[in-house]
């Protein structure tokens, strides 16, 4: 019984961690290197994350500076950023790329808040799915005689409490990111 609970908790923790990583990559008006996490560049035939092929710094609050380790990759990185869903056109001075993040307008803020809510809801669905799978395993154990009726009810209640706790954490993460996005 405890093993099932522990496994379910670990899976829910991974879902929450995945949500937090996804939220980091959503642009909130400030320069954040995490927005480049999803962008890969073709480097000698292999898709390579920008972080592995360039130094990324933030000289100003709304600017990222990307300096490739291999200067010949500057154009390829620029093209990858332009073709991504980032919506920012990098400026190239021949040595480094600069990404200037414009302040978000009200419509874009609302759109990003909706995207955050959607990602959060997907995480909650994953957490509930983990709960459902665990409860099905508890029922199978009861059917095979490993659990009593009281143990089953207790286990289901514990699993529901765990699910509620993780759903609250998801809601808190969504609220924090939404507040960050709507902040002027």
The pLDDT of residue 184: 58
The pLDDT of residue 29: 65
Alpha-carbon distance of 111 to 153, in angstroms, equals 42
Alpha-carbon distance of 78 to 92, in angstroms, equals 8
Common-topology check for domains 2-24+105-182 and 33-100: no
The pLDDT of residue 104: 76
Q: Quick one: fold of 33-100?
A: Gyrase A; domain 2 (3.30.1360)
- For every residue of 66-96, DSSP letters joined together read EEESSGGGHHHHHHHHHHSTT--PPEE-SS-
The pLDDT of residue 46: 87
pTM for this entry: 0.72
Could you tell me the residue ranges of all domains in the chain? 2-24+105-182, 33-100
Please give the helix or strand (H or E) that residue 154 lies within, else none: helix 149-182
Q: Quick one: fold of 2-24+105-182?
A: Topoisomerase I; Chain A, domain 4 (1.10.132)
Give the pLDDT means over successive 10-residue stretches in the chain (184 positions).
Answer: 88 94 76 80 86 88 87 88 81 87 82 91 95 94 90 92 95 91 75
Alpha-carbon distance of 53 to 170, in angstroms, equals 33
């Amino acid at each position: 019984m405890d093993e099932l609970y522990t496994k379910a908790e670990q899976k829910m923790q991974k879902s929450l961690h995945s949500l937090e990583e996804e939220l980091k990559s959503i642009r909130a008006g400030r320069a954040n290197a995490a927005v480049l996490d999803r962008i890969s560049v073709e480097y000698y035939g292999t898709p390579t994350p920008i972080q592995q092929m360039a130094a990324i710094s933030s000289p100003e609050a709304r600017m990222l500076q990307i300096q490739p380790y291999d200067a010949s990759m500057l154009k390829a990185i620029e093209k990858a950023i332009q073709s991504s869903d980032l919506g920012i056109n990098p400026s190239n001075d021949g040595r480094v790329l600069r990404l200037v993040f414009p302040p978000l307008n009200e419509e874009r803020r609302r759109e990003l808040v909706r995207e955050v809510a959607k990602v959060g809801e997907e995480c909650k669905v994953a957490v509930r799915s983990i709960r459902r799978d665990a409860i099905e395993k508890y029922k199978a154990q009861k059917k095979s005689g490993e659990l009593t009726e009281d143990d089953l009810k207790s286990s289901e209640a514990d699993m529901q409490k765990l699910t509620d706790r993780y759903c609250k954490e998801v809601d808190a993460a969504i609220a924090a990111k939404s507040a960050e996005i709507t902040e002027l």
